[in-house]
A and B are shown apart, each in its own frame.
Chain A
């Protein structure tokens, strides 16, 4: 079974703090993704990476950055957390694009509260 783990289930931070959210997958997947989920808005893509040290902006990258130094690990960084970044953050991974294999597998999520 594919396993995607996220370093924290719940996190409370103060405005202006630098926040790191970590995601690790154990299936040697090339692609990794960060989403945020808000009530009534569904999931929105923040950043994704299709290779080590490669990153692409998603739909809402403002206020975020990412790091992928190793294939299995993808970090989301909030340089200076703000209250409007209070949300559920979901990490996902998927293998290289091949027919029938293009499925994203999700971690359990990190619920972040910024005070």
Chain B
């Protein structure tokens, strides 16, 4: 069965600083990988996804992620964090199931931004 590990429960960064959130996955085949963001009290919004091809993926809001097969990682990065980026971030791996595919989520990383 697939699994996702986000080792950091909570990260605090200063506004303008760079950000990297870690995500490690376990899956036997080529993974579909996703990053979602959740603002307080809201649903999940897709930031970016990787299916194949270029291992550096660009997303919305200035985020990017790099797929590293050798490290089973899909880390999320942003060069300069804005106060509005404070939210919870979820990494997920997609696996084929009956008639569809299913997402397995990590437990999330909460990002706080210091003005």
Q: Which residues of B contact A45 (CB under 8 A)?
A: 102-103
In chain A, positions 53-102 with a C-beta closer than 8 Å to chain B are 54, 56, 58, 90, 92, 94, 97, 99-100, 102
Q: Evaluate contact between B98 and A50: CB separation under 8 angstroms.
A: yes
Q: Evaluate contact between A103 and B49: CB separation under 8 angstroms.
A: yes
- B side interface size, CB within 8 A: 27
- Does chain B have a CB within 8 A of A22? no
Q: A42-B90, A102-B32, A103-B49 in contact; A97/B101 too (CB < 8 A)?
A: yes
Q: Report the nearest A residue to B97, measured CB to CB.
A: A56
Q: A50-B98, A97-B101, A102-B101 in contact; A109/B90 too (CB < 8 A)?
A: no
Kindly count the residue-residue contacts between A and B in the assembled complex, taking CB atoms under 8 Å apart.
Answer: 66
Chain-A contact segment, one of B12-20, B39-47, B68-76, B77-85: B39-47
Q: Evaluate contact between A103 and B100: CB separation under 8 angstroms.
A: no
Q: Evaluate contact between A43 and B43: CB separation under 8 angstroms.
A: no
In the bound assembly, the distance between CA atoms of A4 and B44 in angstroms comes to: 11
Q: A103-B34, A103-B46, A103-B49 in contact; A58/B108 too (CB < 8 A)?
A: no
Q: Which residues of A contact B106 (CB under 8 A)?
A: 42
Partner of B44, one of A40, A56, A90, A100: A90
Q: How distant is B2 from chain A, measured CB to nearest CB, in Å?
A: 11
In the bound assembly, the distance between CA atoms of A97 and B35 in angstroms comes to: 19
Which positions in B face A, CB cutoff 8 Å? 9, 32, 34, 36, 41-46, 49, 51-52, 90, 94, 96-103, 105-108
